C-alpha cells in the first residue's frame, strides 16, 4: 500500500513538473563504466617477459564498446578478457593439443596484440591515406605500435584509476523538454541496444570522462520551436531545435541503414547476418501510445 502511494506521488511529481526529458528506467539496468587509465597485466602466477601495459580506456570510447568487448550482449555485466571460457591462456597451446571440435579461443597475448596493435596500425594507415607524409602522420599519432611503446623497459608504477560513470543500459523514455507543448507521445528508446555504436555518435560533445549531459541542457539543443523562416531540420538555423536534433540523429541513421539493406537485397543478398537491421521510421512506431 505505502509503496503504491509513493509511486503515485512520484508519478504525480513527474507529470506536474512538466518533465525535462525525464526518462524512466524501466528495467533499472546500469553499468559502472571505468573511465580512467588501467594497467593490463598477465594473469597472476604466469611467467612474464614484458612490462604491464598502460591502457587509457576513455581515449577509446570513440569506438564501439564491441570493438573490444566483442562477446558483450549490451545488457549483462562486462567480463574481463581473461574470464573463464574466454582468453584464459596467456599463450596459444601447442599445435595439435586442442581437439579439433573444441572451440578455438585466441590466447590472451594473441588477442591483445591483434586487437590493440591491428587497430593502431590501421588507424595510422587511414591518416597516411589522407595524404600526410609518414613522418608527419607518425608525429601526430600517439597510439603505440612498437613493443617498447606498450611494454616500456622501465615501467611506471601499476596504475588503476578508480574513476567511473554510471551508464543506464535499459530503456529510456524520451519526452519533449519542459516548456514545450508535446503533440506526440514520448519515445521509448532502448539505450543499451545502441551500444554497438560509439557513444559519441549521439553524445557528440562528450569527452569520455565527464558526466554525460542531457541533449536539451541549456546551450545545447534547448530551442523549443523551429526557426521562424524554416522548419527544415537540416537547416543550420534549426541545429539547436530539440526536435531537429533528435529526428536528425535517430531517423537519419535508421533510414541510411534501411537504404543500405534494401540496396543489398536488390543485389540479391539474403543472408540476415550481412543485411543490416534498422530501427523504426514511421511516426507512430517511435511516438507510440502505450
Ligand atoms: C598496443 C600495445 C602492445 C604492443 C604494441 C605490444 N604488446 Fe605485448 N602485450 C600487450 C598486452 C595488452 C598484453 C597482455 C597484458 C600483459 O601481459 O601485460 C601483452 C602481452 C605480451 C606478452 C606476454 C606477457 C609477458 O609479459 O610475457 C609478451 C611476451 C609480449 N606482449 C611481447 C610483445 C612484443 C615482443 C611486442 C612487439 C613485437 C609487443 N608485445 C607489442 C600489448 C602490446
Ligand atoms: C579499445 C578497446 C576497448 C574499448 C573500445 C572499450 N573497452 Fe572496456 N575494457 C577494455 C579492456 C582491455 C578492459 C580490461 C579488461 C580486463 O581487465 O580483462 C576493459 C574493461 C572494462 C570494464 C571493466 C570490466 C571488469 O573486468 O570489471 C567495463 C565495465 C568496460 N570495459 C566497459 C566498456 C564499455 C561500456 C565500453 C564502451 C563505451 C568499453 N568498455 C569500450 C577495452 C576496451
Ligand atoms: C578500434 C581501434 C583501437 C583499439 C582496438 C585500440 N586502440 Fe589504442 N588507440 C586508438 C586510437 C585511434 C588512439 C589515438 C591515436 C591518436 O589520436 O593519436 C589510441 C591511443 C592509444 C594509446 C595512447 C593514448 C594517449 O593518451 O596518447 C594507448 C596507450 C593505447 N591506445 C593502448 C591501447 C591498448 C593497450 C589497446 C588494447 C587493449 C588498444 N589501445 C586498442 C585506437 C585503438
Ligand atoms: C526514430 C524515432 C522517431 C521517429 C520515427 C519520429 N520521431 Fe518525432 N521525436 C523523436 C524523439 C526522440 C523526439 C524528442 C522526444 C519527444 O519529444 O518525445 C521527437 C520529437 C518530436 C516532436 C516534438 C515533441 C512533440 O511531441 O510535439 C514532434 C512534433 C514529432 N517528434 C513528430 C514526429 C512525426 C510527425 C514523425 C513522423 C514523420 C516523427 N516524429 C517520427 C523520435 C522519433
Ligand atoms: C543512439 C544514440 C545514443 C548512443 C549510441 C548512446 N547514447 Fe547515451 N543517451 C542517449 C539519449 C537520447 C539519452 C537521453 C538523454 C536526454 O535525456 O537528454 C542518453 C542518456 C545517457 C546517459 C544519462 C545522462 C543523464 O542525464 O544522466 C548516460 C550516462 C549516457 N547516455 C551514456 C552513454 C554512453 C557511455 C554511451 C556509449 C556506450 C552512450 N550513452 C551511447 C543516446 C545515445
Ligand atoms: C547510428 C545509428 C542509430 C542511431 C543514431 C539511432 N538508432 Fe535506433 N536503431 C539502430 C539500429 C541498427 C536498430 C536495430 C537494432 C536491432 O534490431 O538489432 C535500432 C533500433 C531502434 C529501435 C527498435 C528497438 C527494438 O527493440 O525493436 C528503436 C525504438 C530505436 N532504435 C529508437 C531510436 C531513437 C529514439 C534514436 C535517437 C535518440 C535512435 N534510435 C538512434 C540504429 C540507430
In the chain, the domains with their CATH numbers are 2-29+169-286 (3.90.10.10), 36-150 (3.90.10.10)
Q: Which of 52-56, 97-101, 213-217 has the lowest mean pLDDT?
A: 97-101
pLDDT of residue 46: 87
Beta carbons within 8 Å of 51's beta carbon, 6+ residues apart: 151, 152, 153, 155
**pLDDT for the residue 177:** 94
Cβ of 286 less than 6 Å from ligand 4: yes
Residue 27 has pLDDT above 60, yes or no: no
Q: Does ligand 4 have an atom closer than 6 angstroms to the CB of 89?
A: no
Q: Is 199 in the pocket of ligand 5 (CB under 6 A)?
A: yes
Query: What is residue 28's predicted lDDT score, i.e. its pLDDT?
Result: 58
- Reading the block at residue 1, the C-alpha cell is 500500500
Q: Is residue 218 a contact partner of residue 20, using CB atoms and an 8 Å limit? A: no
Q: What's the confidence (pLDDT) of residue 23? A: 39
Pocket of ligand 6 (CB under 6 A): 187, 189-190, 193-194, 197, 201-202, 246, 249-250, 253-254, 257, 277-280, 286
Name every residue whose Cβ is closer than 8 Å to that of residue 25 and which is 6 or more positions away in sequence. 168, 170, 171, 172
Contact 61, 200 (CB under 8 A): yes
- Kindly report the pTM of this predicted structure: 0.90
Give residues with Cβ within 8 angstroms of 46, minimum separation 6: 90
Mean pLDDT to the nearest integer, 21-43: 75
Residue 142 burial class via C-beta count within 10 angstroms: exposed 0-12, middle 13-18, buried 19 and up: exposed
Among 18-22, 143-147, 231-235, 286-290, the range scoring the smallest mean pLDDT is 18-22
Q: Which of 51-55, 91-95, 169-173 has the lowest mean pLDDT?
A: 91-95
CA angle, residues 179, 191, 76, in degrees to nearest 5:
145
245 lines ligand 5 (CB under 6 A): no
The whole-number pLDDT of residue 13 equals 39
Sign of CA dihedral 85, 91, 95, 96: negative
**Is 160 a residue whose pLDDT tops 80?**
yes
Asked if residue 209 lies in contact with residue 35, where contact means CB atoms within 8 angstroms, the answer is yes
Would you say the CB of residue 51 lies under 6 angstroms from ligand 1?
Answer: no
The stretch 191-208 carries a mean pLDDT of 96
Determine how many CB atoms are found less than 10 A away from the CB of residue 217.
Answer: 12
Q: How far apart are CA 222 and CA 225, in angstroms?
A: 9
203 lines ligand 5 (CB under 6 A): yes
Tally of residues, the chain: 290
Q: Specify the pLDDT at position 26.
A: 42
Query: Is 68 a pocket residue for ligand 5 (Cβ < 6 Å)?
Result: no
What is the reported pLDDT for 141? 87
Contact, 245 vs 221, CB < 8 A?
yes
Q: Which helix (H) or strand (E) holds 176?
A: none
Please say if the pLDDT value at position 182 is more than 50: yes
* Pairing state between β 171-174 and 37-40: unpaired
Residue 110: the pLDDT is: 95
For the four alpha carbons of 192, 196, 197 and 200, in that order, the dihedral sign comes to positive
Identify whether the C-beta of residue 105 lies closer than 8 Å to the C-beta of residue 118. Answer: no
Residue 276 predicted with pLDDT over 60: yes
| Pocket-testing residue among 177, 200, 254, ligand 6, by greatest number of atoms within 8 A of Cβ | 254
Q: Say if residue 21's pLDDT is above 60.
A: no
Provide the mean pLDDT of the chain: 88
Please give the share of the chain, as a percent, with pLDDT higher than 90.
71
Residue indicated by cell numbers 529510456: 172
Amino acid at each position: 500500500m505505502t509503496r503504491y502511494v509513493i509511486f503515485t506521488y512520484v508519478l504525480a511529481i513527474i507529470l506536474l513538473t512538466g518533465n525535462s526529458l525525464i526518462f524512466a528506467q524501466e528495467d533499472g539496468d546500469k553499468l559502472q563504466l571505468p573511465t580512467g587509465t588501467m594497467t593490463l597485466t598477465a594473469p597472476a602466477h604466469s611467467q612474464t617477459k614484458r612490462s604491464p601495459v598502460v591502457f587509457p580506456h576513455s581515449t577509446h570510447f570513440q569506438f564501439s564498446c564491441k570493438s573490444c568487448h566483442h562477446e558483450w550482449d549490451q545488457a549483462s555485466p562486462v567480463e574481463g578478457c581473461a574470464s573463464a571460457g574466454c582468453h584464459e591462456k596467456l599463450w596459444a597451446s601447442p599445435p595439435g593439443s586442442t581437439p579439433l571440435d573444441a572451440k578455438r579461443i585466441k590466447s590472451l597475448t594473441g588477442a591483445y596484440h591483434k586487437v590493440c596493435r591491428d587497430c593502431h596500425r590501421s588507424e595510422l594507415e587511414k591518416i597516411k591515406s589522407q595524404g600526410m607524409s609518414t613522418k608527419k602522420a607518425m608525429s601526430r599519432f600517439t597510439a603505440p605500435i612498437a613493443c617498447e611503446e606498450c611494454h616500456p623497459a622501465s615501467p611506471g608504477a601499476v596504475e588503476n584509476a578508480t574513476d567511473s560513470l554510471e551508464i543506464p543500459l535499459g530503456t529510456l523514455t524520451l519526452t519533449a523538454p519542459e516548456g514545450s507543448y508535446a503533440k506526440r507521445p514520448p519515445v521509448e528508446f532502448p539505450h543499451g541496444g545502441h551500444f554497438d555504436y560509439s557513444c559519441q555518435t549521439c553524445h557528440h560533445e562528450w569527452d569520455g570522462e565527464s558526466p554525460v549531459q542531457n541533449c536539451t541542457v541549456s546551450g545545447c539543443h534547448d530551442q523549443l520551436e523551429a526557426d521562424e523562416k524554416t522548419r527544415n531540420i537540416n537547416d543550420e538555423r534549426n541545429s539547436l531545435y530539440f526536435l531537429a536534433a533528435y529526428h536528425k540523429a535517430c531517423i537519419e541513421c535508421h533510414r541510411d541503414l534501411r537504404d543500405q539493406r534494401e540496396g543489398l537485397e536488390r543485389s540479391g543478398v539474403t543472408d540476415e547476418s550481412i543485411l543490416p537491421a534498422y530501427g523504426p521510421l514511421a511516426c507512430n512506431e517511435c511516438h507510440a501510445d502505450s
